[in-house]
Amino acid sequence: MKPALLPGSLWAVLAAVFLVLPFAQHDYLLGIGLSFLMWLALTQSWSVLSSMTGYISLGHVVFYGLGSYTVVVSWQQLPLWVSIPLGGLLAAVFAVIVGLPVLRVRGPYFVILTFGLAELVKYVLLAVEAAMGVSSRLLFGAPDLVQIYWMMLSLAVASTALLWFVHHSRFGHGLKSIRENEDAAETLGVPITRYKLWAYMLSAVIPGMVGGVMALRSTYFEASQAFDPMISINMIVMALIGGGTTAMGPLIGVAFLVALSELLWTEAPQFYMVILGLLLVIFVMKLPNGLLGWHEARRRKHGRAAL
């Protein structure tokens, strides 16, 4: 695999920008940076399962929500350096428990099943919270934006590194063989059940921790927001716009959608959703391999024309 589109220098520049950003003392910019890092962390994690294996999860918000809930429930009882990783751990445990039955379901049924599962967990939590007489929980004395930013930066770096390592590992090649032809992969001795379960678990940990950190940012918790299906949909659209299985694809998609949502989300949320929907339609119909795939196809065509 030639890393023509993955210049290390770009990542270095990006890292430098994000390392300097907090010192600019500019809350608005820092907020945008935070949302960029959050989506990067989520989408890179999502890719570990979905781009690699082709099992498209439309319910990754469930891990985010569980992490959020963990931090909120243990607020002022556990220190954050315990509760945030605990959120990630619980998300991973949940992934392992539901993973075995859920990952047996293939193709589009897997997609709608993950969606249904996330909604099920959301409604169970809503019903439980209502039965306990809690409608929303507030967090008092949450850390300030700069601290939250540093936590998110480390999660984004961890998530990107995770995808990089999986992409270049033997394990990653196994996952890609599942995507190309699961039955053939199994026949050739790829332990598909174990690999899929590992991928599912690995892709759950960081979203769980991201959810915990974002609970600190919003300083309150409401199940319908922490489990908002839009979070899952955003991840898919971002990955789909970028395309490919490398860490570069999500980066392109995240940059594009964060800019778009910054322009439209607060001013005209419904218009933003219409645009998002149209993007899905256009990319599925015209560019199913994303911008990265389109670029590579063009390069190949031009390369051949030159010969």
Partner 1 sequence: MGVLDVLFSGQLLFAALLTGALYAIVAVGLNMVYGTMRLLNVAHGDLVMIGAYGAYWFFTGFGLSPLAAAPVVAVGCALLGLVLYRLLFAQLLRTTGNPVQLEARSLLLFFGLSMVIQNIMATLETATPRAYQYLEVVYRVGGLAMTGNRLAALLVALAVCIAVALFLRFSVFGLALRGVIERPDAARIVGVNVERVHWVSVVLGFGVAGVAGVLVSMMEQFSPFIGFPFTIAAFIVIILAGLGNIAGGLIAGLLLGAIEVYGVALTSPNWRSVLLYGIFVFVLIVLPKGIFARRGRA
Give the nearer residue to partner 1 in terms of CB position, either 130 or 138.
Answer: 130
Q: Give the shortest CB-113-to-partner 1 separation in angstroms.
A: 5
229-248: contacts with partner 1 (CB under 8 A): 233, 236, 240
Binding mask 131-170 for partner 1 (x = CB under 8 A): x---------------------------------------
**Residue with Cβ nearer partner 1 (158 or 287):** 287
Nearer to partner 1, 76 or 270 (CB): 270
Smallest separation (angstroms) from partner 1 to the CB of 195? 18
Residue of the chain from 271, 297, 298, 300 that contacts partner 1 (CB under 8 A): 271
In sequence order, the 6+-apart residues with CB closer than 8 A to the CB of 186 are 192
* 97 counts as binding partner 1 under rule CB under 8 A: no
Task: Kindly write out the interface string for residues 36-65 of this chain, putting x where it contacts partner 1 by CB under 8 A and - elsewhere.
Answer: ------------------x-x-x-------
Q: Is 284 one of the binding residues for partner 1 (CB under 8 A)?
A: yes
Does position 270 interact with partner 1 (CB under 8 A)? The reply is yes
Question: Contact between 105 and partner 1 (CB under 8 A)?
Answer: yes
Q: Show the tokens assigned to 48.
A: 């570990």
Residues forming the site for partner 1 (CB under 8 A): 54, 56, 58, 101-102, 104-109, 111-113, 116-117, 119-120, 123-124, 126-127, 130-131, 233, 236, 240, 270-271, 273-274, 276-281, 284-285, 288
